[in-house]
Amino acid sequence: MAKKLVIVESPAKAKTINKFLGKDYQVEACFGHVRDLPKSKMGVDFETSFTPRYVIPTKARKVVNHLKKAARGKEVFLAPDPDREGEAISWHLTAILDKNPKAIHRVEFNEITKEAVKKAFEHPRVINEKLVNAQQARRILDRIVGYELSPLLWKKVSRGLSAGRVQSVALRLVVEREDEIKKFIPEEYWSLCVKLSSHRASEKEKVFVAKLDRIGKDRAELKSEEETLKIKATLEKGTFQVGSVDKKERARRPQAPYTTSKLQQEAYNRLGFPAAKTMRVAQMLYEGVDIGDESVGLITYMRTDSVQVAKSALGEVTQFIQQTFGKEYLPGTPNVYKSKKSAQEAHEAIRPTSAFRTPESIKAHLSHDEFKLYELIWSKFVASQMSEARDLVTSVEIVAEKDYFFKASGTINLFPGFSKVFLDAKAHRKRREKAEGIGEQTEERGEEDDEQPLPDLVESELLKLHELIGDQHFTKPPARYNDASLVKALEEDGIGRPSTYAPTIHTLLAREYVHRKGGALMPSELGEIVMRQLLEHFPKIMDIQFTALMEEELDKIEEGELDWVRVLKDFYEPFQKSVADAKLQMKDVKQEITETGQVCEKCGKPMVIRWGRFGKFIACSGFPECKNTKPISTGVACPQPGCNGSLIKRKSKRGRPFYGCSNYPTCTYISNQLPKTETETKEAADQAPTPTVEEKH
């Protein structure tokens, strides 16, 4: 019989760890938090220093009883994840098990491998109270904001809404970006490119493209077709001569291994994975995958803002690079990267647990998504410890009719270095465009390409003119946020932490404050109303700098520099006053009525638009005597052949939105998404990063 009990969060993690430990250990899963604040009330005693009133959730009671029974007479090792949440779970388990503190140990490991787990069990520690206090402060702070603002929104806007400390600021970013797009006025401009080649026999077959850069001493800014055609006519009869040739060697350094936010960004841009999907797949890779007879965690812990790497991992990846690629692919000394100021240095970057476990060698044991994400993480890490890539960059200035200066540039790779394993974003995009045939379009239009092969030109030589191409362009509005760019903005502004980015986006979508249009995040009318109401009455909560400052204070609690009760008190008192004022002054959207021009077919009274739990709907103005209601049409025609109905947004019994025909039950057409028009398809292409793998929603 096992003498020691190990408790982790998930069955998958338990299964992996169980194979590393001997028969003396019994490994059980607690399935996340075993105690939490109650759902039905605030659960915080404001009169006694913000004391939380924790309860065991109904769904956790069976597990808790099982763990209590399993812990009898055993030494207990608590092994949840190495972060604030994991520390808090360990603390709650300690309280629930009610054992002698000497019989309970906290073990922490950053990767689930046999070596890391055994080392952690050889060096157990006590619960870190600072981490627990930081988690409690965050939990109570979020509870105060959510439980005070959400009921206010239910009363003034619609039932079922929510507000959150991080979520509401993220919504503000999305709504304000949409405001910028609506206000944007495109301006016309033109470009003028020329296709040229050398007269010399050895180089004359190499046609290259140069772009008009200057007219005299001024930068070329062509505002109209008339101006462009006038210059074009002048130059078609003129001569083109090489003014200068500049050749420089350029070094490109590899980037650091992934942090959580960078992984979410690149997984979206390169693979088309939404942030939530990235974290879900990463969790599976971390907790353990069966590789033949072996069960092992393939990556280190995936919630981190550190770029530090363990010495043992550096030694292994150095050995792998030398054996696989050769000594010339190793830098003189290992590459060192600097984490941002707030990063927890005890953590590591996201990396494979073994560089020798290449993606191809384990592909057969992984799902498609697991393989793609593991390949991304593995490649990034290995490349981070490789030598620089070296390029020869040639810049050529070409003079036409003395006053017109064109520029052409070309790059030749001299040594691939890290790019042998991992292409940077620009090179990756170009490879993808070439594979999809997009690169050919730019060549046909005559746009300059800095990767083009230039002929070996010499100063003052005359060039052969092939074609002058004028192109019309319009300035574009800022792009809507997508998962990658919103995560980047949240990180740069200091809003939230690695563990909050994906849940924040998920909540905005689940509450229907935001919906996806192509790859972009676009605010709904409901989202705009909620954001503007909160911004008007809670400017501090919605302030980006204030939210970032709160995050810094939570970090300082973790470091022992601030008292968590003091932080909560300083926040709560002015917040409480804002809530009291908003209850009196906030506009009641639910009472606003908009005429539709329709008449109720049941009682003959006018039909009006009202707000409900699921947004706007059409209702009889005779309510409550007449309860006739109907949904609002999306204005999109039903695509079913022969049907003259329109699509209406509905909700399934489980609350999931879908679109059905207004002629139901005569027409039974349903879809999870509105059919895209040609215009919307083009807009999506402009706004989204065109991921290599189709994003599933």
Positions annotated as catalytic residues are 301
For residues 242 and 469, is the Cβ–Cβ distance under 8 A?
no
Do residues 677 and 653 make contact, with C-beta atoms less than 8 angstroms apart?
Answer: no
Listing DSSP states for 506-535 in one string gives: HHHHHTTSEEEETTEEEE-HHHHHHHHHHH
Question: What 8-state DSSP symbol labels residue 621?
Answer: T
CB 278 within 8 A of CB 346: no
Are 547 and 535 in contact, with CB atoms under 8 Å apart?
no
**How far apart are alpha carbons 35 and 56 in whole angstroms?**
5
Q: Spell out the residues 6+ positions from residue 233 whose beta carbon is closer than 8 angstroms to its own.
A: none
329 and 420 Cβ atoms separated by less than 8 Å: yes
What is the three-class DSSP state of 646?
A: strand
CB-based contact 218:234 (threshold 8 Å): no
Cβ–Cβ < 8 Å for 505, 483: yes
Q: Residues 6 or more apart from 391 whose CB is under 8 A from it?
A: 249, 250, 251, 252, 411, 412, 413, 414
Place of tokens 């069990």: 121
Return d(Cα 313, Cα 299) in angstroms, integer: 12
**Cβ-based burial of 588 (10 A; exposed 0-12, middle 13-18, buried ≥19):** exposed
Query: Letter for the amino acid at 198?
Result: S
